[in-house]
Chains A and B, each alone.
Chain A
């Protein structure tokens, strides 16, 4: 059973068309939820860390929010350069210090 599920798997938007990506998790005792951006052939780039329900963080056109069971990455007025795969990962109490559990990602394409 997947502990971190991201939806949709792929999302195509027109430039300027706002939308949201979802990351749901089933672990108990969340100790941090992380969002990354990954361009093809490159390593993931860190975007945000969220620690508690109700927390929000923003960076340019991206805003991440967290509830007790899921997180959303809102993209406002996206541009073609926002095209990438967005990864979500969680860490929970009782998990090993090293272990981030990753979802499979949402591939975002923004057309001009």
Chain B
């Protein structure tokens, strides 16, 4: 069966500090991978998605970036965090066709102070 991991589970970072969140998927090959942010009172917002190693599509311009160094690894980064970056970050995967359901990880709660 497939499993998706995210770490860390929670993170408190000062404004202006860097960020690195990691997501890995087990039990599947060549998945599509996604990063979402969920803010209070708002729906899930897609930030990035990837259909393969080194292939990243950005949905929302911001000070975040994503990378996919390995087939089942997806990383969300920032050089300098803003207060507005606080939120619940979710990684998800789907089969390569990309038109079926997405499966979500446990999430990372980020608080920027």
Contact = CB atoms under 8 A, between A and B. Distances in A.
A19 B30 CA distance: 40
B100 A32 contact: yes
Contacts of B41: 104
Interface residues of A, number: 25
Contacts of B19: none
A43 B44 CA distance: 11
Contact of B90 (A32, A44, A46): A44
Given A44-B90, A49-B100, A91-B99, A98 B46 contact: yes
Interface in A89-112: 89, 91, 96-105
A91 B99 CA distance: 8
B49 A46 contact: no
Interface in B52-68: 57, 59
A34 to B, nearest CB: 5
Interface residues of B, number: 25
B57 A42 contact: no
A21 interface: no
B53 to A, nearest CB: 16
Interface stretch (B70-78, B79-87, B101-109): B101-109
Given A4-B43, A98-B49, A98-B57, A46 B107 contact: no
B99 A31 contact: yes
A91 B49 CA distance: 15
A43 B106 contact: yes
A58 interface: no
A32 B92 CA distance: 17
Interface of B: 6, 32, 34, 41-44, 46, 49, 51, 57, 59, 90, 92, 98-107, 109
Interface of A: 4, 31-32, 34, 36, 41-46, 49, 87, 89, 91, 96-105
27 contacts: A32-B99, A32-B100, A34-B101, A36-B104, A41-B107, A42-B107, A43-B6, A43-B105, A43-B106, A43-B107, A44-B44, A44-B90, A49-B101, A96-B57, A97-B32, A97-B98, A97-B99, A98-B34, A98-B49, A98-B57, A98-B59, A98-B98, A100-B46, A100-B102, A103-B43, A104-B41, A105-B43
